[in-house]
Structure 1
Amino acid sequence: MEYFGDAIAILSRWDVVAALLIGSIGGVIIGAIPGVGPAVAIAILLPATFALDPIVGLTVLLGIYGSSMYGGSIPAILINTPGTAVNALTTYEGFPMTLRGEGKRALSLAYSASFFGGVFSVVALIFLAPVLASIAPMFGSREIFLAALLGIILVVVAHRGQMLAAAMLAGFGIFLNTIGLEPVKYSKRFTFDQSWLASGVDLIVVVLGLFALSQAFMLLVEDDERVRVTETRGSLFQGFRELARHPRVAAISSSFGVVMGMVPGVGEFTAQFMSYTSAQKLSKNKQAFGHGSSEGLIASEASNNAVPAAAMIPLLALGIPGEALTAMMLSVFYVHNVVPGPRLFQGQMDFVIALYLALLILNVLVIVFLLFSTNWLVKLTKIPNRFLGVAILTLSFVGVYSLRNSATDCLIAAVFGLFGFILKRLNLPIVPIILGMVLGGIMEVKLRTSMNRVREPWDFIDRPIAFIIFSIIVIILVTHFWRLWREWKPVDREVLGRKTSRKFGRRLNARSTRLANGRRKQTRRRRVRDHLASR
């Protein structure tokens, strides 16, 4: 109870209350504007949070992260355009309901499912993070290295169909982290005698370039579209009653969000896909999916809103981020010398409880705000793309310059912005670069520390947790490559059959040509003999 009282005292401070309001309301507004998204907003605000207390900065960032998905459902349902990328599946069920004149019912159901998923994940965070933190003291350098390596592998494997590109981009992120002074002997690496590279490539500069500036460039080159919002009818309070009729769908979908949020590199898209698929298989009305199914809408919104708090579980317990946004939040911890892990739960439990309560309060503030301001938020969908692009571009350069008052950082951010713009145009992933930079630094330090105690290769996995993580890595790789081989095996046989048939056909044609030429020669000879004999 002592820690609980201290946590209440932290949350009662005016700056924390302001952070709760700004994070919750600001995130909803950002989510309701198509083309912005939480990654852009967090990247822009990240430099400003370094000057704030950790609880204040994290509350703002987490508020934007979680509440943007609430707001992203508004344009997804009303104009068939997801406000954030993770609201894509919401369009499948929400917009058909709007076309039937049930837009407010769809919005209410989306808000209710999002609230359930958000609270469900916070409860999971409260119970699971301390358990994982109690196991964390058993993690030495080898275990943390293998856990970070597992995160990289999961990031690559999660990008199915783009695995090679994701692996290359993750490797590029690891390479970026090696530029500058190495962490043990402080020797220069890949600086090419350039003084501006001695301090390395800053993670925040890369984040602002890849996420914020690239999105600004995307908005600037796109044409402005005329948005027409369909009129809706119904009550925004009826969704809670309808949600109560589908408790199994809400619970299963939220569970998928929690599990996928804890696994590095997976996140909302996989959680949405798995929850939506399972809801369709378990539904008694499968034909309604894709045509305005309330179960499909619940599955989509409950799963993606359960991910943000769940992604904090490995971050708080082990200090290992699960995806790009939690990797950005990790920098807030480091700036204030707050080290996530077991010591955080032992020495700063009041901070941890305050963070739990802040997440719960954020969900309550968001749902109250949405129930009374949806009609006003709908107008945000009409903001021109190019105006948004100019605003994001300006704020991004201000944020980059404010880090170290360096014009060089602005130039580096612009280069990464163009690189991110090219990746987006080619439909290639950006997240592996960020996770490669974050997890690559952890891997390098822990590997060099652990090698002092390793004499033989098997010594690296001679402890139980190290062996378990190594076994998981092997199982994931073997399973993934086996699946790929099984998928490509029929294609290979078909290709081989075509090659064999072409080769056989060429031989057959050559033989037929030789036979035909021989017959023609025999015919000519016979005609010559007959002609001579007649003379």
Structure 2
Amino acid sequence: MDLLISAIEVLMRWDVALALLVGSVGGVLIGAIPGVGPAVAIAILLPATFSMDPIVGLTLLLGIYGSSMYGGAIPAVLINTPGTAVNALTTYDGYPMTARGEPQRALSLAYSSSFFGGMFSVACLVLFAPVLAKVAPMFGSREIFLAALLGIILVIVAHRGQSLIAGALAALGIFIQTIGFEPVKYTQRYTFDQPFMQGGLNLIVVVLGLFALSQAFVLLTSEDEKFRTTRLRGGLLQGLRELARHPRVATVSASFGVLMGIIPGVGEFTAQFLSYTYAQRTSKRPEDFGHGASEGLIAAETSNNAVPAAAMVPLLALGIPGEALTAMMLSVFYVHNVVPGPGLFQNSMDFVVALYIALAVLNVLVLLFLLVATRPLIQLVKIPNRFLGICVLTLSFVGVYSLRNSVTDCVIAAVFGLFGYVLKRLDLPVVPIILGMVLGNIMEVKLRAGMARVKEPLDFIDRPIAFILFIVILLVLGAHLIRVLADRRDLKAAERETKTRPTRFGGLLFRRKGTIDRSRARAVRARHIRPGGERGQ
């Protein structure tokens, strides 16, 4: 009880409350605008959060992270265009409801499902917080190194059909973080005698370039779409009653979200598709899925909103981010010399509990805001792409320059922005670069510290948790190898059946000298192309 009271006192400050309100409302607005997304907003706001207290800055970023998926459901349901990448599955059953004249029912059900998923996740993590506080101190340097290595491997294998390029981009991120002075003996690495390279490439500069500037270039070079918005009639509270009629689907989907959020590199997309598949297979009317099934919409929205709170577990307990958004939040800790990891749970448990309470309050604020502001929010989808692009471009350069008042940083950010733009146009992932930079630094530091007591290779895994992590790494690599071989066998079978030679690049199938049977090609392609898009973009 004392811990809870202490955590509430942390949140009762006016600046924390204001950050929570601005973050929750701002996240909904960002999510409701197709083409922007929380990653761009968080990247732009990062420089501003460095001058705030850690709890204020993290509350602001958590507000955007947790509320953007609420707002992303609005265009997904009304105009069949997901506001954020993780709302792609919402269109499967949300838009068909709108098409048959039930937009208010679809939005109400999406809001209610999101609220349930968010609150379920927070409740689970508050209950498990004492367990985490006991387990976290068991992780030493070797265990954290292996956990970070597992995180990178999971990120790579999660990009099914693109694992090779994802691995190469993660390796590029690891290389980028080595530029500058080496942390132990302070020797220069890959600086080429250039003074501006001696300090290394700033993570925030790279983040702003790869996420914000690249998205600005995408918006500036894309045509405006003509959206026809739908007028809403009726109340938006009926979704709570409909959600209560499907407690099994909602609970299982939220559980998938919690589990997938805790595992680094997995996240919303895996949670959504596991939940959606479960809901369809256990439904009495599976044929309705994709045509406006309420259970499908519940599964999609409940699972993706259960992830944000769970994704904070590896970040807070081990200092290991699972995806790009939590990697950005990690930089807020570093700037204020707050080290996430086992020590945080031992010495600042009230800080951890305060963050989870903030997530719970966030869900309540967002739901109340949407119940009264959905109708005017619909107009946000009409903002022209080029206007958005100019705004993002300007704010990004302002943010980069404000870090160190450096024009060189702006040039570096622009270079990474162009690189990110090329990757997006080629439908290649950007997230592995950022995670490579963050996790690569953690791996280097922990490996050096862990090797001090290692005399033989097997000494590195002579402790229970280290050994378990090592076995998990082997299992993940083995399962991925089996899956790759099975996919290759299926491709060869498709080639023999169609008497063509399909080739793959970036996870896509192309035809050569003939026509592939379309149903067979779709079945094969569905197993190779990573669902949805990138997390957090």
| Fold match by TM threshold 0.5 | yes
Q: What CA distance in whole angstroms lies between the structure 1 residues aligned with 2:483 and 2:166? A: 18
Does structure 2 retain, via aligned residues, the 8 Å contact 1:112–1:239? Answer: yes
CA shift, 1:498, in A, is 12
- Residue by residue over 1:241-286, the C-alpha shift from the partner in whole angstroms, topping out at 9 and shown as x without a partner, is 0000000110111111111111111111111111111111111111
CA shift, 1:482, in A, is 1.3
CA shift, 1:63, in A, is 0.5
SS in 2 for 1:482: helix
Q: What CA distance in whole angstroms lies between the structure 1 residues aligned with 2:308 and 2:471? A: 28
SS in 1 for 2:240: helix
The aligned amino acid for 2:286 is K
The aligned amino acid for 1:78 is L
CA shift, 1:125, in A, is 1.9
Q: What CA distance in whole angstroms lies between the structure 2 residues aligned with 1:230 and 1:294? A: 19
CA shift, 1:416, in A, is 0.4
Q: What CA distance in whole angstroms lies between the structure 2 residues aligned with 1:212 and 1:490? A: 38
Q: What CA distance in whole angstroms lies between the structure 1 residues aligned with 2:497 and 2:272? A: 39
SS in 1 for 2:88: helix
The two structures, once aligned, show a CA RMSD in angstroms of 1.6
Residues 270-285 of structure 1: pairs in structure 2 closer than 5 A: 270-285=270-285
1:474 and 2:503 are equivalent in the alignment: no
Q: What CA distance in whole angstroms lies between the structure 1 residues aligned with 2:495 and 2:356? A: 56
CA shift, 1:223, in A, is 0.7
CA shift, 1:497, in A, is 12
Q: What CA distance in whole angstroms lies between the structure 1 residues aligned with 2:498 and 2:326? A: 49
- Residue by residue over 1:318-375, the C-alpha shift from the partner in whole angstroms, topping out at 9 and shown as x without a partner, is 1111111001111111111111123222222222222121111110000000000000
Does structure 2 retain, via aligned residues, the 8 Å contact 1:101–1:232? Answer: no
SS in 1 for 2:306: helix
Are residues 266 and 185 of structure 1, via their aligned partners in 2, closer, same or farther at CA, if it must alter by over 3 Å?
same
Residues 442-481 of structure 1: pairs in structure 2 closer than 5 A: 442-481=442-481
1:296 and 2:296 are equivalent in the alignment: yes
CA shift, 1:433, in A, is 0.4
Does structure 1 retain, via aligned residues, the 8 Å contact 2:133–2:346? Answer: no
- Residue by residue over 1:128-184, the C-alpha shift from the partner in whole angstroms, topping out at 9 and shown as x without a partner, is 344233112221211111110000000000000000000000000000000001111
Percent of residue pairs bearing the same amino acid type? 72
Does structure 2 retain, via aligned residues, the 8 Å contact 1:128–1:313? Answer: no
Does structure 1 retain, via aligned residues, the 8 Å contact 2:280–2:289? Answer: yes
Larger mean CA deviation between 331-340 and 185-194 belongs to 331-340
Q: What CA distance in whole angstroms lies between the structure 2 residues aligned with 1:153 and 1:481? A: 12
Q: What CA distance in whole angstroms lies between the structure 2 residues aligned with 1:438 and 1:416? A: 16
Q: What CA distance in whole angstroms lies between the structure 2 residues aligned with 1:25 and 1:120? A: 21
Larger mean CA deviation between 439-448 and 353-362 belongs to 353-362
Does structure 1 retain, via aligned residues, the 8 Å contact 2:137–2:343? Answer: no
Are residues 351 and 375 of structure 1, via their aligned partners in 2, closer, same or farther at CA, if it must alter by over 3 Å?
same
CA shift, 1:414, in A, is 0.3
Structure 1 residue runs of 5 or longer lacking an equivalent are 500-535
Does structure 2 retain, via aligned residues, the 8 Å contact 1:179–1:200? Answer: yes
Q: What CA distance in whole angstroms lies between the structure 2 residues aligned with 1:491 and 1:14? A: 59
Q: What CA distance in whole angstroms lies between the structure 2 residues aligned with 1:495 and 1:279? A: 33
Residues 304-323 of structure 1: pairs in structure 2 closer than 5 A: 304-323=304-323
Q: What CA distance in whole angstroms lies between the structure 2 residues aligned with 1:128 and 1:415? A: 43
The aligned amino acid for 2:428 is L
Q: Equivalent residue for 2:224?
A: 224
The aligned amino acid for 1:469 is L
Q: What CA distance in whole angstroms lies between the structure 2 residues aligned with 1:237 and 1:487? A: 45
1:403 and 2:403 are equivalent in the alignment: yes
- Residue by residue over 1:386-434, the C-alpha shift from the partner in whole angstroms, topping out at 9 and shown as x without a partner, is 0000000000000000111111000000000000000000000001000
Q: Equivalent residue for 1:205?
A: 205
Q: Equivalent residue for 1:423?
A: 423
- Residue by residue over 1:451-489, the C-alpha shift from the partner in whole angstroms, topping out at 9 and shown as x without a partner, is 222222111111111111000000111111012212323
Q: What CA distance in whole angstroms lies between the structure 2 residues aligned with 1:247 and 1:401? A: 50
Does structure 2 retain, via aligned residues, the 8 Å contact 1:125–1:312? Answer: no
Structure 2 residue runs of 5 or longer lacking an equivalent are 500-537
Larger mean CA deviation between 423-432 and 328-337 belongs to 328-337
CA shift, 1:491, in A, is 4.5
SS in 2 for 1:81: coil
Does structure 2 retain, via aligned residues, the 8 Å contact 1:130–1:317? Answer: no
Q: Equivalent residue for 2:175?
A: 175
SS in 2 for 1:266: coil
Residues 349-388 of structure 1: pairs in structure 2 closer than 5 A: 349-388=349-388
Does structure 2 retain, via aligned residues, the 8 Å contact 1:93–1:291? Answer: yes
Q: Equivalent residue for 1:215?
A: 215
Q: What CA distance in whole angstroms lies between the structure 1 residues aligned with 2:185 and 2:257? A: 42
The aligned amino acid for 2:445 is V
Q: What CA distance in whole angstroms lies between the structure 1 residues aligned with 2:29 and 2:311? A: 22
- Residue by residue over 1:504-531, the C-alpha shift from the partner in whole angstroms, topping out at 9 and shown as x without a partner, is xxxxxxxxxxxxxxxxxxxxxxxxxxxx
| Matched positions, count | 499
CA shift, 1:99, in A, is 1.0
The aligned amino acid for 1:322 is G
Does structure 1 retain, via aligned residues, the 8 Å contact 2:139–2:342? Answer: no
Q: Equivalent residue for 2:71?
A: 71
Does structure 2 retain, via aligned residues, the 8 Å contact 1:261–1:311? Answer: yes
Are residues 369 and 99 of structure 1, via their aligned partners in 2, closer, same or farther at CA, if it must alter by over 3 Å?
same
Does structure 2 retain, via aligned residues, the 8 Å contact 1:129–1:313? Answer: no
SS in 2 for 1:52: coil
Are residues 458 and 49 of structure 1, via their aligned partners in 2, closer, same or farther at CA, if it must alter by over 3 Å?
same
Residues 7-18 of structure 1: pairs in structure 2 closer than 5 A: 7-18=7-18
Does structure 1 retain, via aligned residues, the 8 Å contact 2:324–2:434? Answer: yes
Q: Equivalent residue for 1:330?
A: 330
The aligned amino acid for 2:58 is L
Q: What CA distance in whole angstroms lies between the structure 2 residues aligned with 1:243 and 1:498? A: 46
Does structure 2 retain, via aligned residues, the 8 Å contact 1:101–1:233? Answer: no
SS in 2 for 1:320: coil
The aligned amino acid for 1:176 is I
Does structure 2 retain, via aligned residues, the 8 Å contact 1:102–1:234? Answer: no
Q: Equivalent residue for 1:118?
A: 118
CA shift, 1:196, in A, is 0.2
Does structure 2 retain, via aligned residues, the 8 Å contact 1:98–1:106? Answer: yes
- Residue by residue over 1:79-110, the C-alpha shift from the partner in whole angstroms, topping out at 9 and shown as x without a partner, is 11100010001111111101111000100000
Does structure 2 retain, via aligned residues, the 8 Å contact 1:29–1:68? Answer: yes
CA shift, 1:492, in A, is 5.0
Larger-gyration structure (1/2): 1
Does structure 2 retain, via aligned residues, the 8 Å contact 1:94–1:106? Answer: yes
Residues 187-206 of structure 1: pairs in structure 2 closer than 5 A: 187-206=187-206
Are residues 482 and 78 of structure 1, via their aligned partners in 2, closer, same or farther at CA, if it must alter by over 3 Å?
same
Q: Equivalent residue for 2:58?
A: 58
Does structure 1 retain, via aligned residues, the 8 Å contact 2:136–2:345? Answer: no
1:85 and 2:85 are equivalent in the alignment: yes
SS in 2 for 1:160: coil
Are residues 145 and 231 of structure 1, via their aligned partners in 2, closer, same or farther at CA, if it must alter by over 3 Å?
same
Residues 329-348 of structure 1: pairs in structure 2 closer than 5 A: 329-348=329-348
CA shift, 1:233, in A, is 2.7
The aligned amino acid for 2:343 is R
The aligned amino acid for 1:446 is K
